[in-house]
Structure 1
Amino acid sequence: MSTHRSTKPQADQLAQSALTRLLIRKLMPLLVIVYVISFLDRTNIALARHTMSIDLGLSAAAYGLGAGLFFLTYAMLEIPSNLVMNKVGARLWITRIMVTWGVLSIGMAFVRGETSFYVMRLLLGAAEAGLFPGVMLYLTYWFTREERALATGYFLIGVCVANIVGGPLGGALLELDGMLGLRGWQWLFVIEGLPAVLLAIVVWKMLPDKPLEASWLSPAQAAQIEARLAAERDAQAGDGRASHSLRHALGDPQVWLAILVYFCHQLTIYTTIFFLPGVIGASGHFSPLVVGTLSATPWIAAAIGAAALPRFASTSARSRLLLVGGLIVMALGLLIAAHSRPAIGLLGMCLAAFMFFVVQSIIFTFPSSRLSGAALAGGLALVNSCGLLGGFVGPTVMGLIEQSTGSATNGLIVLAVALIIAAVGSLRLRHGDEDRRARAVYCRDAEKAV
């Protein structure tokens, strides 16, 4: 009898692991491809920068401002976009996002100066708003908290793939300069914008809104997923640790602490994306293809980290350890890059990049463990939108530093300091169930004292 009781939970666990692998195999490839294309279209100005700036007369500060303006409208519209997705479903809303950003990305080929450059970057940010937090919300429809760090890690591999593929691809497209009367940077925007529109058709046809709509799940499997997620929501509600309204999310100090950590993280990510090709190009006489290829190397390290480490964030203590350690490693890598020769500096960037998406995959598990319903949709968007302001501040400040000092590496020291601040803040991040246990211990101790 005891043997039967011990083997049944083990069998259930094996069945659940197999179901989780099925979900990852069916959902994540399409979502990763979507994110690959979105990142290509938001960051390809990094490779277009040199010739585009010459043709349009853009200074380093103007380029940095234009690169960052994307994140202003992106951040402003994150929360309403996620609330809409929560009502109309992921399939419709992600399809809409992809069509509009693809068309606007193609339109970047026809900017004529600073003003049109700024306007198009603002519009592109507005079009893409809601994609990342929308996917973070979408994952809560399929995976429990323990599984989401793994799923998010796979999703963030899309950023790595975009930067690995984007460098050589963008460099090759720049070599089309003069074909059909278009400059190389114009070809870059046109050719990399088209796939978003085409892939939107695939998303509309293939992405299920929820388990009960997935044709590749049996009714029993879909019911099992829904039951596990409902049990998790009920446990949160029973603990009193899940906020249901956006007002409660706004008043939770833990949500704002996650925002601080994510802000410092995004400062580093987007400054690296927008300025690394320029730093590499300034260190030698390289062709656009070589610059693009060298720019891809840190993202290979980032992909390895994203695939290998988030799976170990299976408990709150492990999540916090990986988060704090990852931020410190990122800071160390940036300091190496700032004080070394170009070859060693690139290795320093690879060290920092190794932890980029280990950190990002874990950050969102903290607020999501404390929220539900509309608060979950709005809260995840709030964290992402406020954090992504780092994508505006980082490139803008980096552009000013480069213009005033003549070197972009000076800004890396500022970023390293921000990451250390984030690491210290991460020590106080808590999942919702940790608060419940702490309250239980406090109440028990108080009863003993009485």
Structure 2
Amino acid sequence: MQHTSIPATPGLGASRADDEQASLNALIFRKLMPLLVLAYVISFIDRTNIALAKNHMAVDIGISAAAYGLGAGLFFLSYALLEVPSNLVMHRVGARWWIARIMITWGLLSAGMAFVTGETSFYVMRILLGAAEAGLFPGVMLYLNYWFGRKDRARATGYFLLGVCIANILSGPVGGALLQMDGLWGWHGWQWMFVLEGLPAVALAFVVWRKLPDGPSSASWLTRPQAQAIERQLAAERAEDVADGQVGESFRACLVDRQIWLAIFVYFCHQISIYTVIFFLPSIIGTYGKLSPLEIGALNSLPWVAAAVGAIALPRLAVTPQRGRLLLLVGLVSMSVGLLIAAFASPAIALAGFCLTGSMFFVVQSVIFLFASSRLAGVALAGGLALVNTCGLVGGFIGPSVMGWIEQSTGSTKNGLLLIAGMLVAAALASVWMRQGQESQRKR
């Protein structure tokens, strides 16, 4: 948020208003973000833990590299197809009920991955898991628009995306330890991993149901004047953009906005890179030497430590459209350079390259959604954010699928990394033309 509705007078009055606004922002972050981040941690562990299980499932049930890549990508196909309707439903029924429903179904299906017996059942379960989880990320992106104004939304998104970093930092060592339960009660280690990492989503769903308010007016920890001030300020921001003619309120508005499709292209390239790294980095690290599952998991967490540092430190700098655009350009170029290093360097330097790429993952993602949300309102905001994520996540399907095919055909992931590096350069060039709603009006 930029300001509260408390009138500020020069001198001490303005200082007091700023202090009250900072205190209110801190309260909102403290009450909302830990629960949202925890939900995203669990969701990301459950959608990506097959990366650690890849080699074990190949031995135990015969899943090939190409089949693994296809199955990893099928999650995103069903996820993408259901995102827009999911967000439109959440816009009508409220965040609390809908996010809790999403968590229960994905948790049960994630645990059910333990009962996969071959390639066909692997494909089916990944499709069902994607359908179950559809709407979580775009739903939270919509939810943040109910609470945060332009200046704080990128920072809030960056904090939310910490969930991915935390998930990948934890999933390596935790998943590696669970894989070593192999043979207990006649189960494979990967079966234990799926069950023990899936059920926490079901438990957390009940916490979400009890604790997550649908919006400021239903938050028990806000006073009525505070809730009204938040809603008035957000309505005033949206009214400014609507008056400028830069924001659409119907779903058709986002379909005909060239800027939205530009954001989709950039996000598509970004998602190809991030999910290829997520699903193939553990097996790439496995080629660096004779390493145990726990050691591979620990090394796999390093790029995500870098991603966490980037997510905390950099999105907050995107306080103007110009700075946001610069962050996009630098971030995408840095990701490309990191993958080039990873493709050609020795293992230690290659891992440093992956860390460079990872450091910009969620800087780029935070800023992309800031640009997209500045141009939409109402139903268009709900559907448009889901559309951006839906089209972007097609990259989550294509990236792992193509990388799996390249690995199986050539015996190496090098060419796949080079292809993705080139796509990131194209995205960086496209990002130069991105504009926010309020920015376009000023340029006329």
After superposition, residues 359-378 of structure 1 pair within 5 angstroms as 359-378=364-383
Bigger shift: 160-169 or 19-28?
Answer: 19-28
Tell me whether 1:282 sits opposite 2:274 in the alignment. Answer: no
**1:13 Cα deviation after fit:** 2.3
> Which ranges in structure 2 are unaligned for 5 or more consecutive residues?
1-7
> Aligned pair 1:328/2:300, yes or no?
no
* Partner Cα distance (1:149, 1:125) in 2: 26
- Which residue is 1:29 aligned to? 34
Q: 1:164 corresponds to which residue?
A: 169
Query: In 2, distance between residues paired with 1:14 and 1:328?
Result: 38
Q: Which residue of 1 aligns with 2:104?
A: 99
Letter aligned with residue 182 of structure 1: W
Instruction: Say if 2:256 is the partner of 1:251.
Output: yes
Q: Deviations over 1:306-359 (max 9, x none)?
A: 001111110110000011100001101110111100111000000110111011
SS of 1:142's partner is coil
Deviation for aligned residue 1:9: 2.9
Q: Which residue of 1 aligns with 2:202?
A: 197
Q: CA deviation at 1:116?
A: 0.4
User: Counterpart in 2 of 1:448?
Assistant: none
Mapping of 1:145-224 within 5 angstroms? Answer: 145-224=150-229
What is the distance in 1 between the residues matched to 2:222 and 2:45?
Answer: 32
Match of residue 80 from structure 1: 85
Q: Which of 422, 425, 431 lines up with 1:420 in the alignment?
A: 425
1:396 equivalent to 2:390? Answer: no
Residue 114 of structure 1 aligns with which residue?
119
Report % sequence identity.
Answer: 64
- Post-superposition CA distance 1:214-248 (Å, at most 9, x none): 11111121111111111112112211221011111
Q: Which amino acid aligns with 2:189?
A: G
> Counterpart of 2:435?
430
**AA partner of residue 343 (structure 1):** A
- Residue 344 (1) aligns with residue 349 (2): yes
Number of the residue aligned with 1:382:
387
RMSD of aligned residue pairs (Cα, Å): 1.0
In structure 2, what is the Cα distance between the partners aligned to 1:76 and 1:364?
Answer: 19
The 5-angstrom pairing of residues 245-324 of structure 1 reads 245-324=250-329
Counterpart residue type for residue 181 of structure 1: G
1:7 CA displacement: 3.7
| Cα deviation digits, residues 267-313 of structure 1 (max 9, x gap) | 11100000000001122111100011110000000000000111111
Counterpart of 2:157 in structure 1: which amino acid?
Answer: T
What CA distance in whole angstroms lies between the structure 2 residues aligned with 1:106 and 1:315?
A: 43
Alpha-carbon offset, residue 4 of structure 1: 5.2
Instruction: Give the unaligned 5+ runs of structure 1.
Output: 440-450
Q: Distance in 2 between matches of 1:156 and 1:268?
A: 16
**Letter of the aligned partner of 1:167 in structure 2?**
G
- TM (norm. structure 2) is 0.97
Query: Which of the numbers 228, 231, 234 marks the counterpart of 1:226?
Result: 231
Q: Does 1:64 align with 2:69?
A: yes
Tell me, yes or no, if structure 1 residue 406 matches structure 2 residue 408: no
* Number of corresponding residues: 437
Question: Which stretch shifts more, 48-57 or 262-271?
Answer: 48-57
Cα deviations across residues 338-391 of structure 1 (Å, max 9, x unaligned)? 110011100000011011101101100111001000000000000000001110
Query: Aligned partners of 2:56 and 2:41: how far apart in 1?
Result: 24
SS of residue matched to 2:147: coil
- The answer to whether residue 359 in structure 2 is matched with residue 354 in structure 1 is yes
Name the aligned partner's letter for residue 305 of structure 1: G
Q: Distance in 2 between matches of 1:279 and 1:44?
A: 15
Cα deviation 1:59-118 (Å, max 9, x = unaligned)? 111100000000000000000000000000000000000000001001100011110000
Q: Give distance in 2, aligned partners of 1:152 and 1:370.
A: 17
2:3 is aligned to none
The residue that corresponds to 1:444 in the other structure is none
Shift in Å at residue 20 of structure 1?
1.1
Alpha-carbon distance between aligned partners in 1 of 2:364 and 2:170, rounded to the nearest angstrom? 22
| Off by >4 Å, runs of 4+ in structure 1 | none
**Structure 2 residue identity aligned to 1:29:** P
The one-letter code matched in structure 2 to 1:13 is D
What is the identity, as a one-letter code, of the residue corresponding to 1:378? G
